[in-house]
Amino acid sequence: MSAMTAEGRTVITIDGPAASGKSTVARLLADRLGIAYVSSGLLYRAATHVALRSNVELTDEEAVVTLLRSHEVALEPDPSGNRVRVDGVDVTAELHTDAIDVAVSTVARHARVRAWVTERLREVRGSFVIDGRDMGTAVFPQASVKFFLTADPEVRAARRAGERSGELRQVAERLRRRDEQDARQSAPAPDAIFLDTGPLTLEEVVERVLQDVRAALPLGAVER
């Protein structure tokens, strides 16, 4: 496994199904390593937000992509998190809703939407930790280290139920449908390190991932 990407920087990808903990782990890992955290999922959510706000048919790929090209959507990595601006307006707080949870997989299935997201992500400079599907395959195939976090649907549903409205059973069923949809569009990188987060605490997951990063990268390559 290469320690650096072709551009001479360190890129660490963290993939996994919804509510597997990938976003939280990615943020904490980036903080421990002293590099930026990039949330690819926010761009898909931003695309969905723009489409819903404009009442575009989500299954109409041409209409969605044309709409996206007509707006300036910017992802801004920040030490305290990521911000998303649409035409200069911060919409970050509007991207984690039940409506977007339900619709984002439909938007993300479009190949040209994924290409649009890839364009935006490849504009990010420097070293960073990034979470999201396809990150270690289509977007950053030469990433320094790749992870795939997973957990049983029931465990993930319990986590998501604490963040969203709705009964646990409903959340579990929604996650199963999301898993089925996402499985059709992407697969984990063959060289990804798999980790079941179900029986582990958040701190234990971060420590496991940090150990693997240290083993894969030259000593002191990215840590402050």
Domains of the chain: 1-35+126-216 (3.40.50.300), 40-125 (3.40.50.300)
CB 192 within 8 A of CB 147: yes
Closest CA to 29 of 217, 218, 175, 207: 207
Confidence at residue 4, expressed as pLDDT on a 0 to 100 scale: 44
Task: Note the pLDDT tens digit of each residue in 19-69.
Answer: 778 888 999 999 999 899 998 889 999 999 999 999 999 999 999 999 999
> What confidence category does residue 1 fall into, taking pLDDT thresholds of 50, 70 and 90?
very low
Mapped onto helix, strand or coil, the DSSP state of residue 96 is: coil
- pTM of the complete model beyond 0.95: no
Pairing state between β 81-86 and 11-15: unpaired
Q: Does the pLDDT at position 153 exceed 90?
A: no
Task: Note the pLDDT tens digit of each residue in 156-209.
Answer: 767 666 555 456 666 666 667 766 666 655 678 899 999 988 888 889 999 999
Mapped onto helix, strand or coil, the DSSP state of residue 120 is: helix
The mean pLDDT of 85-101, rounded to a whole number, is 95
Mean pLDDT of the chain: 85
- Alpha-carbon span 134 to 150, nearest angstrom: 15
Confidence at residue 168, expressed as pLDDT on a 0 to 100 scale: 67
CA 166 to chain centre: 23
Helix (H) or strand (E) segment spanning residue 215: helix 202-216
Q: Does the pLDDT at position 96 exceed 90?
A: yes
Contacts for 179 with CB less than 8 Å, ≥ 6 apart: 17, 18, 153
Q: What does the DSSP assignment read for 78-141?
A: ETTEEEEEETTEE-GGGSSSHHHHHHHHHHHT-HHHHHHHHHHHTT--S-EEEESTTIIIII-T
Mapped onto helix, strand or coil, the DSSP state of residue 195 is: strand
Contacts for 207 with CB less than 8 Å, ≥ 6 apart: none
DSSP assignment letter at 190: T
Confidence at residue 198, expressed as pLDDT on a 0 to 100 scale: 84
Output the six-digit token pair for 52.
Answer: 């819903």
Residue with the larger pLDDT of the pair 137 and 66:
66
The mean pLDDT of 104-116, rounded to a whole number, is 94
Instruction: Give strand ranges (E) for the chain.
Output: 11-15, 36-39, 73-78, 81-86, 89-90, 128-131, 145-150, 193-196
Give the CA-trace dihedral at 33, 35, 40, 45, to 10 degrees: 100
Output the six-digit token pair for 212.
Answer: 């693997």
Q: Which of 75-84, 98-107, 155-164, 206-215 has the lowest mean pLDDT?
A: 155-164
Output the six-digit token pair for 188.
Answer: 């984990």
Q: ∠ at Cα 131 (17, 122), nearest 5°?
A: 130
Return the percentage of the chain with pLDDT > 90, whole number: 54
Task: Note the pLDDT tens digit of each residue in 56-73.
Answer: 999 999 999 999 999 999
Confidence at residue 224, expressed as pLDDT on a 0 to 100 scale: 46
Query: What is the phi/psi pair of residue 106, to 5°?
Result: -65, -45
Confidence at residue 215, expressed as pLDDT on a 0 to 100 scale: 92
